[in-house]
Amino acid sequence: GAVVSQHPSRVICKSGTSVKIECRSLDFQATTMFWYRQFPKQSLMLMATSNEGSKATYEQGVEKDKFLINHASLTLSTLTVTSAHPEDSSFYICSAPRTSGGNTGELFFGEGSRLTVL
Amino acid sequence: AQSVAQPEDQVNVAEGNPLTVKCTYSVSGNPYLFWYVQYPNRGLQFLLKYITGDNLVKGSYGFEAEFNKSQTSFHLKKPSALVSDSALYFCAVRALNSGYSTLTFGKGTMLLVSP
């Protein structure tokens, strides 16, 4: 079964509203989670690294005030798209590594969230 | 900078025939290589990985991949394709001594298996 759960799977919102996407690790603790964005027929682009108990690390070109990340617990990270606009419409995917004493553990992905901004 | 190349946008194969999805990579140091599969509007599912050891890695759903250090390749293979294998496949690499934030994905190869 899924070890990383992402919710909602689909969301449609009006321009100017904010949308929150949740990413949960189901049977392991994740001090780090990753948020990706995927455009149609393109690869995954890392947006930010979510760190439990501290600020997220954003990749170059990603607006941190636009994409708010909160990693309040060892099993939950949230991505909030603030004041969404049509150009924010995309497929957002989270992932979490399940490590056991090293950095070679498996990286598990959520099912993704399709955001459509009207 | 590290990179992953998947030279084929699409691979077409008939059911029952062998399939190969190509991947070459560039990374500083020892590579940590992955293959993932993505079905429409879904997240990525792990197929297999290579860290060290045997160059032929066996993974989920009958897939395997061969690590070739001299050619810096990690091609995905399956002896007999199924229609249900039709999906988007991603190769990914990071340096073994780096973190997952450095994981780099290829652009993906669409595999279409015809009945």
Question: What DSSP string describes A10-23?
Answer: EEEE-TT--EEEEE
Closest residue in B to A94 (Cα–Cα): B43
Q: How far apart are CA B56 and CA B66, in angstroms?
A: 4
Q: What is the pLDDT of residues A68-94, one digit of tens each?
A: 999 989 999 999 999 999 999 999 999
Residue contact A110–B43, C-beta within 8 A: yes
Q: How far apart are CA A90 and CA A47, in angstroms?
A: 12
Candidates A4, A34, A110; nearest CB to B101:
A34
CA B112 vs. chain centroid, Å, equals 15
Residue contact A110–B100, C-beta within 8 A: no
Q: Chains A, B: CB contacts under 8 A, how many?
A: 53
Residue contact B90–A43, C-beta within 8 A: yes
Q: What is the pLDDT of residues B47-88, one digit of tens each?
A: 999 988 889 999 999 999 999 999 999 999 999 999 999 999
Closest approach of B71 to chain A, Cα-based (Å): 23
The answer to whether B81 and B91 have CB atoms below 8 angstroms apart is no
Name the amino acid, one letter, at B89: Y
* Number of helical (H) and strand (E) elements in chain A, helices listed first: 0, 11
Cross-strand pairs, B112: B12
pLDDT tier at A2, thresholds 50, 70, 90: low
Checking if the pLDDT of B97 tops 90, the result is no
